[in-house]
Amino acid sequence: MSDVRLMTVEEAAAALNLSEYTVRAEQKRGRLPYRRVGRFIRFTEADLDAYTERIRGEEAPTLRRTAASQARRRAS
């Protein structure tokens, strides 16, 4: 049997340099793989590696400006 270390949300957040809120949100969105241990959510190092590899491959989100915000920027 292999020794797989299971991390809490707090530990995963520290390892990913994210807030606990963001880790939970990404997990709920299905973007961050996880394991259930009873009623608890745990992450393995492989889960975190898979997440970081996937987000590295994604393009950064672009900001969409509404017509109103564009007009305010032109007026100032």
pLDDT at 55: 85
pLDDT at 60: 55
Q: Please, are residues 13 and 27 in contact by the beta-carbon 8 Å criterion?
A: no
> Does pTM top 0.85 for this prediction?
no
Structural domains in the chain, sorted by start: 1-60 (1.10.1660.10)
pLDDT at 27: 94
Distance, CA of 64 to CA of 54 (rounded, Å):
23
> pLDDT by residue for the chain (76 residues), tens digit each?
568 899 999 999 999 999 999 999 999 999 999 999 999 999 999 999 999 988 888 765 555 556 666 666 677 6
